[in-house]
Structure 1
Amino acid sequence: MSQLYSHKGNYSAAEPLLYRSLEIRETTLGESHPSVATSLNNLALLYRNQGNYSAAEPLLKRSLEIFETTFGEFHPHVAQILNNLSQIYSDQGNHSAAEPLLYRSLEIRETTLGESHPDVAQSLNNLALLYSNQGNYDAAEPLFLRSLEIRETALKPGKL
């Protein structure tokens, strides 16, 4: 239900539901459980959508710590949180903080999921957007093209 409210932009209805989910998971599963990390990520995304980066960042850092501790530093869940954290920095124009997170996310995804996985395309696209926003179009273009190629291949009829 919280996702429905978030997608509709009804953040005031979504926030208490996300907090409730987080509290339930922390109480029943413990504060270091991967499901808690997922709830932290979801709440952080709500704050990012509101532009409340100071609230989102610590939630993502805690989520990252839980996933790294639980699954190791080279896991797709870690890559997703790195990607989300990089978007917070990118939104604020802090490209020097975002770039290494995007590269780390890309490396994890290429290694664990394969170089033609759609999540790799997401990482490539986000890195390309970062470069494009900086005016570095020569660096952005090959990343956009590789992202597009992966997505076109993954979405071919019969591949789904």
Structure 2
Amino acid sequence: MGYVDEPDYTELNQIIERLQAHMMRGEYALAYPVACEELACARSVCAPGDVHLAIALNDAASVERYLGRYDDAREHFIEAGEILREAWGETNSEYGTTVNNLAGLYRLCRDFDKAEETFKHALTIYQASLPEDDWRTISCYNNIGLLYQDQGRYDEARACHERALALLEGSAAGTQHPNSIATTLMNLGVCLWHAGDVTRAKDLFERGRAMTLELNGRVSASYASALNNVAGFLADQGEPEHALELFEESREIAGELFGTESRAYTIVCQNIERVRGDLNARS
């Protein structure tokens, strides 16, 4: 999200401030009508190709992605990317971020070939416009690793996450973006878990969860995701009761943040039913 100083954009800036307040508190359902208002305002005051319109499109798409409105988000990310590429060029980092976000959306939609192509395009843009240890480049390595995890390509995923962690720990990016370290620890834990290194995986999960809670608080998307990772690990290790507790906590957070109709809420409900089924089979 960004600000503009021109007087003609005063109303737009005021809407952006309201949207940012909701997003900072993780109030995605409340943010959605404000994002729609921002986009409508931008379309009314911006000329075609105005980068301020691209900001509004990206803001709307980001909220829509959180709420599972994937078709709308894809349309808006693509439109924003076209504006930014035309305005600032193919190797601009802001354009790269929109490409990266679009790739993440393809991943959520399980269009893995398109996601990999688009993530690698984003990484190429970042490498051309930013230092290798910039947090956006590091985030892109993590995103590609997550995509590989989705496909069971754990060795390739591990290499991506280890690269991200090395860059974070060896530069100012880790100090400036501690959430990235927490996320990378969780990501690497998943890879080690599937590689059979259970002891190291458990250590990374617990470190990542503790950091995420400290940095973001309990009611946050990051912490809900961390709970899901740890719960999945515990269920696999034969601790379904403990796993169920964490999944239920994650469900509560997802419902509060995204609503009970969201994809995030549905996924954690499916995880709960799976663990309950395992418990019933034992009794």
Using the size of structure 1 for normalisation, the TM-score is 0.88
Corresponding residue of 2:66: 7
Shift of 1:116: 9.0
Corresponding residue of 1:21: 80
Shift of 1:44: 0.5
Q: How does 1:47-86 map to 2 (within 5 A)?
A: 47-86=106-145
Separation in structure 2 between the aligned mates of residue 126 and residue 64 of structure 1, nearest angstrom: 18
Cα RMSD for the two superposed structures: 2.0
State whether residues 154 and 194 of structure 2, in contact with CA within 8 Å, keep that contact through their aligned partners in structure 1.
no
Separation in structure 1 between the aligned mates of residue 98 and residue 216 of structure 2, nearest angstrom: 30
Corresponding residue of 1:43: 102
Separation in structure 1 between the aligned mates of residue 142 and residue 71 of structure 2, nearest angstrom: 25
State whether residues 93 and 125 of structure 2, in contact with CA within 8 Å, keep that contact through their aligned partners in structure 1.
yes
Corresponding residue of 1:141: 202
Instruction: Tell me the alpha carbon deviations over residues 45-80 of structure 1, each in whole angstroms, 9 at most, x when there is no partner.
Output: 110000001011111111111111212222211110
Corresponding residue to 1:117 among 173, 178, 186 = 178
> Which stretch shifts more, 127-136 or 111-120?
111-120
Uncovered stretches (5+) of structure 2, i.e. residues with no partner:
1-59, 218-283
Instruction: Tell me the alpha carbon deviations over residues 96-119 of structure 1, each in whole angstroms, 9 at most, x when there is no partner.
Output: 111111001011112222399221
The aligned amino acid for 1:141 is K
State whether residues 116 and 150 of structure 1, in contact with CA within 8 Å, keep that contact through their aligned partners in structure 2.
no
Uncovered stretches (5+) of structure 1, i.e. residues with no partner:
none
Is the radius of gyration larger for structure 1 or structure 2?
Answer: 2
Matched, 1:151 2:212: yes
Matched, 1:126 2:179: no
Separation in structure 2 between the aligned mates of residue 153 and residue 116 of structure 1, nearest angstrom: 13
Using the size of structure 2 for normalisation, the TM-score is 0.51
Separation in structure 2 between the aligned mates of residue 75 and residue 8 of structure 1, nearest angstrom: 28
> Taking CA–CA contacts closer than 8 Å with sequence separation of 6 or more, which of the two structures ends up with the larger relative contact order?
1
The structure-2 alpha-carbon separation of the partners of 1:69 and 1:153, relative to structure 1 and needing over 3 Å to count, comes to: same
The structure-2 alpha-carbon separation of the partners of 1:95 and 1:25, relative to structure 1 and needing over 3 Å to count, comes to: same
